[in-house]
Amino acid sequence: MQIITTIKELRAWRSGVDQVAFVPTMGNLHDGHLALVKEATEQAAHVVVSIFVNRLQFGQGEDFMSYPRTLDADAAKLAAAGVEVLFAPNEAELYPHVSQSYQVEPPHLQNELCGAFRPGHFRGVATVVSKLFNIVKPNVACFGKKDYQQLAVIRGFVEDLNFDIRIVGVDTGRAADGLALSSRNGYLTEAERAQAPQLYQVLSEMAAEIRAGRQDYAKLEQNAIVRLQGQGWVVDYIEVRHAGDLQIAHAGDAHVVVLAAARLGKTRLIDNLEIHLEA
C-alpha cells in the first residue's frame, strides 16, 4: 500500500489508473470503516482511502483537538484490507491558505436534525468532501448509512454540482449488542458503554410499531424521547423522516427512516433505522 501525503503525488498516481473507488474518513478506523473498504474493493479495481481530521466540520467546543489520531494503526488495517493508496494530507496541504474562503453551502437540510445542534457542520463536510473528490477523482465513493444526514447532503451536492461519481451507501456496522460502530464510542465510560445500546433498542421498537401500522409519528417520537430521558440520556432529537430527501414523514410514505441523536455523559451518539413499508 502506498501512503501519499501530497495532492501532486496523488494526482500523478491517479493519472495512471482507471476505475477508482474512494472512502473518505477521519481515521481511528473500526470495523464499520472496514466494511466501507470491503464494499469499495468490490466496486472498483483500485481503492483509495483518505484520512483527514477536518477542522471545518467541528463546532466551537467540539472535540477537534482531542479527536483520536491513530495513523499507524489505521495504515496497518488498510494494508491488510487490500487498499492500494492511503491519502493522508496534513492540514497545510489541504487548506494552504489556512481559511477556506470558498465553501460548499448545502440547502436548508444542513440546519435540521444534527445540523440544528452542530451549526456549520454539514458545510464543512460538503466542502472537504468536494475537495477530496476533485483531488481523487473517484468513479465510486462509499459512505456509511450511520451518518444518514451526511449521506443525503453528499448525494445532493453530487447531483446538483454534476460530479460524475456514483455514491454507494453502506449499511451501519454494529456491535453484537446493536450499538452503531463509531470512533466516538471510545469516549464512553464502561458504565455508559453498557447503557449505550438503549438507543438502538428504542429505535428498533419504534420501527416495529411503524411496520405494524402505526403512523402517529409525533407521538412515537415523543414516547421514545421520554423513555430515553428517563434512563438518563440527553436527547437532541428523535424524528421520522422520508428516507429519500429527509423531509418530514407523512402517513402513506413507503420508505421512511427513524433518526436519533442523544448524549450519554459527554458522548454524543447518533443512529438510525430505515423502514420500508407497503404502499
Give 212-271 pLDDT, tens digit per residue: 999 999 999 999 999 999 999 999 999 999 998 999 999 889 999 999 999 999 999 999
Binding residues for beta-alanine: 57
In this prediction, residue 279 carries a pLDDT of 59
Binding residues: 26-33, 57, 144-147, 150, 173, 181-184
Active site residues per annotation: 33
Domains and CATH numbers, the chain: 2-170 (3.40.50.620), 183-271 (3.30.1300.10)
Residue of 233, 234, 203 whose CA lies nearest to 221: 203
Is the model's pTM score more than 0.85? Answer: yes
